[in-house]
Structure 1
Amino acid sequence: MNLEYALINDTSWQNETDWQTPDTPFMSFAFWQALSDTGAIGEKAGWLPIFILVYRVADHSADNATDGEFSDAISNETDDTEQGDAKPIAVMPIFIKGHHRGEFVFDHSWSEAYARYGLDYYPRLVTSVPYTPITGQRFWLAKGETLNEDIVKTAIAGVDDIAQQVGASSWHGLFVTPELASITTSSMPTGQDIALAIAAHDEGMEPVPIEMPIMERQGCQFLWQNKDLLKDSQPFADFEAFLSTLKAKKRKTIRAERRKVAEQGITCQRKCGDAITDEDWKAFYHCYVMTYAVRGQQPYLTIDFFMALAQTLSEHLMLAQALDAQGEIIASSLFLYDTPASNSDNDSVDGNVDNSATLYGRYWGALGEYDSLHFELCYYQGIEFAIEQGLTYFDPGTQGEHKLIRGFIPTATHSLHRIYDPRFVPAISEFCTQDRLHMAQYRQQAFEALPFNADNMPDF
């Protein structure tokens, strides 16, 4: 496959071909446009975007291809792109960053190590959905394309190009799919290879050029599954059917928490899409801001961002609200979810129907402290909605062992890291290896603490 890349600093590439519907709403063009239009990404936010466009070129034009210069549009390597000489097939986003905010995979100790040696860890490059710890594909793919090693290698060459041009210390691909992690790391050198090369150089031997490795870290999040294992993994009929799969003590705890909410005179309701009014959005944002205010922080996202989502992604939005005895909104939780239409768009890629539709719990806030309300609004309302909509999974967001005892299953997350100074690679590579072992042990321990009856325990 003859692939080249171009580095693009705007979104003109979106009009170059027909693109597949992304695997989550967070990679939709509308979501990213909302981030850009409201200042959540951009130079002022410290998330400066660049897009690596991978395209297929005809053999007769390959000799004329020129990579590497930032441009506002696809470099004009061919005279007739519409004739198929240069066909865009994939795009990967890169952010140039001078901080770690909004990432949820932490490398502060690496930055501190650089500082101890008088070196600057910034700028650094990041591929992620800003402020969103959701596992997913980190490429936009043209219709008819599947992610493969050639596309990934071409994109990584673009990453290295950007790193050289801006003097970046590293690249970090966050919350990538297991498939992308496997493709990216399978043919790369290891930290041990770099250590041997450095030792050989120190001993005066002829240096051997070696590519920097891409190292993998793993984490743990908790994922709810809409699968009744006693009924051949059929979806649950209702919330009580889900509770029946838990041990008696855990069922009792959850029912008690839900009663506590009602006993405080609080009622909950859910609204979707266009049913969410402007007043609902204002009330939600008030709650959202309060969550940050109690920690003395400013929120990453503005009311304009959420209003933009309401205009362009309404079919993916569900808002759960808590109302006090006077009918006033005292807490809100905003979810995004996959729709049947978005899942079916990609069926033609591999001939299989996508049965992994997911609810994503993302943004929460409350005007005060209420017993068990967070569990109700962020977890139990989400579980009920996922059951009603026939969604297969519910991803409630990052962190929190309290999710475990409510039936959320420990699941591995994956991130990729490339360090460009070879002196730091052996130590960071060893750190990543030990970190993966630690996280595997943690997931095993978390799995053993799941609250399910023996007949309903999922596979580890």
Structure 2
Amino acid sequence: MSSRQIEITVHTSVSEVPAAQWDACACPEVADGGRPYDPFTTHRFLKALEDSHSVGAGTGWTPRILAAHLDDQLIAVAPLYSKSHSQGEYIFDHNWANAFERAGGRYYPKLQLAVPFTPATGRRLLTRTGFETIGQAALVQGAVQLASEHGLSSLHITFCTETEAQAGAAMGLMPRTSQQFHWENNNYRDFDAFLDTMSSRKRKNIRRERAQANDFGGSIHTLTGDQIQPEHWDAFWVFYQDTGSRKWGTPYLTRAFFDQAQEHLRDDILLVMAERDGKWVAGALNFIGRDVLYGRYWGCVQDHPCLHFELCYYRAIEFAIDHGLKRVEAGAQGEHKLARGYLPVTTHSLHWVADQGFAEAIAQYLRAERAAVDQEIEILTSYGPFKRQPPEDE
């Protein structure tokens, strides 16, 4: 193996890598005919972002796709982007950028190895089965070399797996932890079985919220695959624009992305839509993995009490139970999720900074931050809605 050379190539579009070869690295498990574990690193999802111009020229997300070949075989790929800002990442480094530039440095552009606009944990160093170790090392070395050769300030690998975080730390990258709220399916037979695990007060509160939400004067539809029609995307685009303008100023995804979703991604999607008087008034967009349901976007044109909780959280839990999914990831932030059965978990990222002095300062900051995140998770978990287990006898 030592005499064989790994070649790293950099591409300006994921389309330059054949879809079958990309997916052999990103989701080899689909060979059995099932779903990918991670729908966001599939060739079709990343291509939809490009083809809809949600990433690319003028967006601040310029594709620098990495591919690693061993002899004539593609053994690893990575969704890498050159970034001119820190929007759409959900692992925040704005303070790092401000500090570096106040000291006279140039923080942007930087490299971001991530799925754009997607705070969902998954493999980022995508390797063909059997090439995990050398493939990960080749991709990290290639990304760092690319940053160094172009005089870029830093490389950030966000929402990677814990295994990748450990491997990256062993290669000299700086690990960072954050937290999200996830719902775990403990083999519940139905939603009531899940509620039975909660304290009486929390159980009653959820039942009250669900009754209030479902009394909004309309009907709720759960749609996936061919059940999803263009009219649903027309409505959801309005919802998404409203939420995006309030949260980010400018929505990240273009209208064309939802056309791409209808054509290429609808089998990966669960839409939960609320209809009243013949009009779509609210909706939640989820992506379906092999074991996980990923909540992504919500929006509405009418405000109804608790409808947000019903569409985003409770219907997602019901879908996961009905389809044997292990987990629901409800996206970034939101301590209000705790009372609804979503508990805090650790998420991981990796960072490389070119300037040695700045890197040492960040490393010190990250050590303190990891301790704070661990403490916060412990405290939040103690406030969880589930029944307290009696202490075991000494």
TM-score normalised by L of structure 2: 0.91
Q: Are residues 377 and 403 of structure 1, via their aligned partners in 2, closer, same or farther at CA, if it must alter by over 3 Å?
A: same
Q: 2:255 aligns with which of 276, 282, 303?
A: 303
Cα deviation code 1:250-301 (max 9, x no counterpart):
0011011112223332432211111111111111111111223445822111
Name the structure 2 match of 1:37: 51
Matched, 1:122 2:108: yes
Matched, 1:107 2:116: no
Paired with 2:278 and 2:310, the residues of 1 have a C-alpha distance of 17
Quote how far apart the aligned CAs of 1:39 are.
Answer: 0.6
The structure number with the bigger radius of gyration is: 1
In structure 2, the residue corresponding to 1:390 is in which secondary structure? coil
Name the structure 2 match of 1:442: 376
Read off the aligned partner of 1:121 and give its amino acid letter: Y
Matched, 1:330 2:333: no
Give unmatched runs, 5+ long, in structure 1: 58-85, 189-213, 228-234, 340-356
Quote how far apart the aligned CAs of 1:14 are.
Answer: 2.3
Paired with 1:263 and 1:151, the residues of 2 have a C-alpha distance of 53
Name the structure 2 match of 1:211: none
Q: Percent of counterpart pairs with the same letter?
A: 36
Q: Are residues 296 and 130 of structure 1, via their aligned partners in 2, closer, same or farther at CA, if it must alter by over 3 Å?
A: closer
Read off the aligned partner of 1:174 and give its amino acid letter: T
Matched, 1:132 2:83: no
> Does the CA contact (< 8 Å) of 2:223 and 2:270 recur in 1?
yes
Quote how far apart the aligned CAs of 1:383 are.
Answer: 0.7
Read off the aligned partner of 1:49 and give its amino acid letter: P
Give unmatched runs, 5+ long, in structure 2: 31-35
Q: Are residues 439 and 257 of structure 1, via their aligned partners in 2, closer, same or farther at CA, if it must alter by over 3 Å?
A: same
> Does the CA contact (< 8 Å) of 1:92 and 1:155 recur in 2?
yes
Aligned residues: 377
Paired with 1:306 and 1:216, the residues of 2 have a C-alpha distance of 34
Quote how far apart the aligned CAs of 1:87 are.
Answer: 1.7
Paired with 2:247 and 2:188, the residues of 1 have a C-alpha distance of 38
Name the structure 1 match of 2:175: 216
Cα deviation code 1:329-363 (max 9, x no counterpart):
11011111024xxxxxxxxxxxxxxxxx1101111
Matches within 5 A, 1:148-187: 148=133, 150-187=134-171
Paired with 2:359 and 2:148, the residues of 1 have a C-alpha distance of 17
> Does the CA contact (< 8 Å) of 1:5 and 1:154 recur in 2?
yes
In structure 2, the residue corresponding to 1:416 is in which secondary structure? strand
Q: Are residues 450 and 146 of structure 1, via their aligned partners in 2, closer, same or farther at CA, if it must alter by over 3 Å?
A: farther
> Does the CA contact (< 8 Å) of 2:127 and 2:136 recur in 1?
no
| 100-109 vs 150-159, which moves further | 150-159
Matched, 1:95 2:77: no
In structure 1, the residue corresponding to 2:384 is in which secondary structure? coil
> Does the CA contact (< 8 Å) of 1:30 and 1:309 recur in 2?
no
Read off the aligned partner of 1:259 and give its amino acid letter: A
Paired with 1:156 and 1:138, the residues of 2 have a C-alpha distance of 10
Paired with 2:101 and 2:267, the residues of 1 have a C-alpha distance of 47
Q: Are residues 298 and 387 of structure 1, via their aligned partners in 2, closer, same or farther at CA, if it must alter by over 3 Å?
A: same
Q: Are residues 95 and 330 of structure 1, via their aligned partners in 2, closer, same or farther at CA, if it must alter by over 3 Å?
A: same
Paired with 1:312 and 1:145, the residues of 2 have a C-alpha distance of 29
In structure 2, the residue corresponding to 1:424 is in which secondary structure? helix
Cα deviation code 1:135-179 (max 9, x no counterpart):
00013333x33522x222221221122112322100000000000
Paired with 1:14 and 1:423, the residues of 2 have a C-alpha distance of 41
Structure 1 moving runs of 4+ over 6 Å: none
In structure 1, the residue corresponding to 2:64 is in which secondary structure? strand
Paired with 2:175 and 2:237, the residues of 1 have a C-alpha distance of 36
Name the structure 2 match of 1:250: 202
Q: Are residues 160 and 374 of structure 1, via their aligned partners in 2, closer, same or farther at CA, if it must alter by over 3 Å?
A: same
Paired with 1:52 and 1:262, the residues of 2 have a C-alpha distance of 47
> Does the CA contact (< 8 Å) of 1:246 and 1:452 recur in 2?
yes
Name the structure 1 match of 2:33: none
> Does the CA contact (< 8 Å) of 2:148 and 2:354 recur in 1?
no
> Does the CA contact (< 8 Å) of 1:23 and 1:137 recur in 2?
no
Name the structure 2 match of 1:394: 328
Paired with 1:317 and 1:16, the residues of 2 have a C-alpha distance of 21
Name the structure 2 match of 1:276: 228
